[in-house]
Amino acid sequence: MAMRRGQAIIDYLLSHAWALIALSMIFVILVWLGVFRGGTSETCFSGDGALFCYDLKAAKSDVQLTLYNNKPDAISVCDIICDSRLPGNASRLPPNAPDYSNCASTGIKISSGSSAEISATSNSMGRPFCTHDGKTPLSVGEQYRGPLYIIFSEQQEGDYGSPRVSVGEIAATVQP
């Protein structure tokens, strides 16, 4: 009798162990993905496969991120813009974006294979930073999920070329 009871317990555990393992794995994956965290996590995806952004911090007056240059040449980053309006012209920039013709001389230089912290203030180039309409800055606690425009020029044969735009995506909650 005791032998049958022990066998029944072993059979029960073995037949249901796969379900416990599967549930444990699903829980671990959900925790890893951040499903149980509240609010919007700060994420940043550059549109260019050779530029990587991380350490995003969005505040009412500015935004900061670290940009890694995986391009073969150095770059000069002129500005970053987050504006949810669609690009207005062939420049791939939102409407009423400033002229970046002198991008190479004014930008933050990032050599190939290195990174730098980039910051843009709310009055950068005379416009508010991170808007949905191009005019009204976001308020503290408001979430922004939309395009991120990285304006840069690439060093070619010792000179920096004309400005280029990498359009990516960010998600952030504006902090005080």
At 120, the amino acid letter reads A
Asked if 65 and 113 count as a contact pair (C-beta separation under 8 A), the reply is no
Do 97 and 128 belong together in one domain?
Answer: yes
Number of compact structural domains in the chain: 2
Residue 86 and residue 31 share a domain: no
| β-bridge partners, 26 | none
Residue 114 lies in domain: 43-173
Is there a single domain that holds both residue 7 and residue 28?
yes
Give the model's pLDDT for residue 41. 60
Closest CA to 151 of 82, 86, 84, 95: 82
Shared-domain flag, residues 111 and 71: yes
Per-residue pLDDT in tens (0 to 9) along the chain, 176 residues:
556 777 888 888 788 888 888 899 998 888 777 666 555 467 777 776 778 888 888 777 777 888 888 888 888 888 888 778 777 666 677 776 777 777 766 778 888 899 998 877 655 555 566 777 767 777 888 888 888 888 888 877 556 667 888 888 888 888 87
- The answer to whether residues 75 and 109 belong to one domain is yes
Tokens read off for 142: 């408001």
63 and 93 part of one domain: yes
Same domain assignment for residues 66 and 120? yes
